[in-house]
């Protein structure tokens, strides 16, 4: 009898882990926790800014553990997200198993449509793994400044970037007084070299350049206003090698696919069922 009871423990644990009620409780706890986080970041923004560039482990060692009154919510967030990931994985596996067992009785389109929520769940897991990889393994090159004609070589000789020219696009309209004559769409002409090949690229805000596994982002630039006794031409680069980016972008695409399938189920088959 005792042996039977002992054997039932993993089954009960699995069921509890796959429970939708657990999902609801976790989501409410996560909502409350991120609100707490919102307040903490509002009050102590400077503590969290390094998280953009440092990995999660150095950030915890440098800032996280020393300021627990402001950073505890972050540790709780990690814990809750980990439990949510386990809950989502077990719930999805359980339901997909049942769905696939009944696949013979379902038309193919209906089966795809019914898989929609599970695709969304799997996408959440992919996104979370992507974030984890990103915060654990991202390599950041901070504060790289280039003047015209100067080059920067990426770590491990992954490639080189030469800043050739800054393309001025000053604001010509009359609507924004504060931007009169200022550069509003900065664009830097670059020459990139990697694997023995050379090509030209244009770097701008929201227009990064990819080179040798690194993404190069424009952080700042000068001059803000062309002409006159202004600062020399200069671009500040933010260079990162983020192994998680492919995962979370794939996760976002998967989630959108899942939503599409779910809406198909809801709009077509739900109507029929009704």
Partner 1 sequence: MEMVMETMTLSMLHIPLSWVLILYAGAFAVSCTGWRRTLLLLLAFALVSNALIVLYRYSQAWPMLPMHLAPVLTPCLLVSMLLLRSAVYLSAEPLKRRVEQLALLAIIICLAAAQLFPKDFYLPFLRSDSLFAHIMLFAGAAGRVCFIFSLAWSITFFTATVEERSLCMRRVLSWAAWGFVLWTLSMFSGEMWAYLGWGTPVIWHDPAILLMMAVWFIYIALLHLHFSRTWGLRARALFAAAGGCAALVLSLLADFGPFRPLW
Q: How far apart are CA 25 and CA 29, in angstroms?
A: 6
Least distance to partner 1, CB of residue 74, Å: 10
Q: What is the CA radius of gyration of the chain?
A: 25
Q: What is the layout of strands, in order, in the sheet containing 151-153?
A: 151-153, 160-167, 187-194, 197-204
Q: Among 23-31, 96-104, 158-166, 190-198, which window interacts with partner 1 (CB under 8 A)?
A: 23-31
User: Residue from 12, 16, 24, 79 that binds partner 1 (CB under 8 A)?
Assistant: 24
Q: How far apart are CA 152 and CA 116, in angstroms?
A: 46
User: Residue from 68, 136, 231, 263 that binds partner 1 (CB under 8 A)?
Assistant: 263
End-to-end CA distance of the chain: 47
Q: Which is nearer to partner 1, 149 or 185 (CB)?
A: 185
Q: Which is nearer to partner 1, 42 or 97 (CB)?
A: 42
Q: Under the criterion CB under 8 A, does residue 30 sit at the interface with partner 1? A: yes
Q: What is the DSSP letter of 8?
A: H
- 3-class DSSP state for residue 250? helix
Q: Under the criterion CB under 8 A, does residue 252 sit at the interface with partner 1? A: yes
Q: Which is nearer to partner 1, 147 or 256 (CB)?
A: 256
Q: Under the criterion CB under 8 A, does residue 71 sit at the interface with partner 1? A: no
195 conformational bin, left if phi > 0, alpha if psi -120 to 50, beta if neither = left
Least distance to partner 1, CB of residue 56, Å: 12
Q: Which is nearer to partner 1, 194 or 242 (CB)?
A: 242
Q: Under the criterion CB under 8 A, does residue 273 sit at the interface with partner 1? A: no
Q: Under the criterion CB under 8 A, does residue 205 sit at the interface with partner 1? A: yes
User: Residue from 64, 116, 159, 208 that binds partner 1 (CB under 8 A)?
Assistant: 208
Q: Among 5-13, 107-115, 228-236, 253-261, which window interacts with partner 1 (CB under 8 A)?
A: 253-261
Residues 203 and 220 sit within 8 Å (Cβ to Cβ) = no
Alpha helices in 103-244 (DSSP H): 108-114, 116-137
Using N-to-C axis directions, what is the helix angle for 245-264 and 116-137, rounded to 10°? 170
- In Å, what is the CA distance from 221 to each residue of 185, 230, 236? 11, 12, 6
Contact residues: partner 1, CB under 8 A: 20-21, 23-24, 27-28, 30-31, 34-35, 37-38, 41-42, 45, 48-49, 51-52, 131, 134, 138, 174-176, 184-186, 205-208, 215, 217, 238, 240, 242, 245, 248-249, 252, 255-256, 259, 263, 266
């Amino acid at each position: 009898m005792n042996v039977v009871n002992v054997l039932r423990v993993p089954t009960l644990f699995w069921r509890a882990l796959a429970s939708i009620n657990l999902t609801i409780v976790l989501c409410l706890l996560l909502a409350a926790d991120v609100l707490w986080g919102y307040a903490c970041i509002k009050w102590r923004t400077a503590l969290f800014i390094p998280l953009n560039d440092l990995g999660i482990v150095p950030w915890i060692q440098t800032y996280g553990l020393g300021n627990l009154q402001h950073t505890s919510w972050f540790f709780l967030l990690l814990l809750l997200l980990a439990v949510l990931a386990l809950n989502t994985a077990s719930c999805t596996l359980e339901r997909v198993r049942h769905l696939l067992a009944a696949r013979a009785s379902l038309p193919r389109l209906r089966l795809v449509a019914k898989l929609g929520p599970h695709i969304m769940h799997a996408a959440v897991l992919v996104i979370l793994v992507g974030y984890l990889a990103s915060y654990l393994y991202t390599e950041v090159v901070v504060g790289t400044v280039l003047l015209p004609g100067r080059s920067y070589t990426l770590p491990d000789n992954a490639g080189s970037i030469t800043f050739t020219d800054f393309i001025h696009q000053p604001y010509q309209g009359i609507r924004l007084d504060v931007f009169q004559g200022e550069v509003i769409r900065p664009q830097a002409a670059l020459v990139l070299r990697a694997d023995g090949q050379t090509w030209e690229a244009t770097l701008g805000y929201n227009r990064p350049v990819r080179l040798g596994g690194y993404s190069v982002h424009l952080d700042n630039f000068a001059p803000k206003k062309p002409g006159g006794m202004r600062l020399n031409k200069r671009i500040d680069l933010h260079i990162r090698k983020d192994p998680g980016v492919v995962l979370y972008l794939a996760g976002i695409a998967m989630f959108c696919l899942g939503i599409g399938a779910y809406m198909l189920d809801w709009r077509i088959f739900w109507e029929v069922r009704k």
